[in-house]
Homo-oligomer: A and B are copies of this chain.
């Protein structure tokens, strides 16, 4: 099932540049692992903000939580989750 997820990152001000670089590297690895699995369908940057909008195709709410909470920056993000379903006016047969 499809979730539209908006994540706003708030880097703690006390972090050193090394610590931040390490987090960013691990964040990339984790998000790319999920993208390669096909479950993280789209990962877009919000233009002009330290935020992303993602489209995630998870088998269950539990899997959605597993994906998002595996991100190293998970504790430092404000996250908005929207569960979407078939729209009666949609001409596409499938969700994605």
Contacts and interface: CB of A to CB of B under 8 A. Distances in A.
A85 B65 CA distance: 8
**Which secondary structure dominates chain A's binding surface?**
mixed
Copies of this chain held together in the complex: 10
Given A48-B5, A91-B36, A95-B44, A53 B84 contact: yes
Contacts of A13: 12-15, 76
Contacts of A65: 45, 47-48, 85
Contacts of A32: 89, 91
Range of interface residues on A (Cβ < 8 Å): 35 or more
Contacts of A87: 43-45, 52
Interface in A24-74: 27-28, 31-32, 35-36, 42-50, 52-53, 60-62, 64-65, 68-69, 74
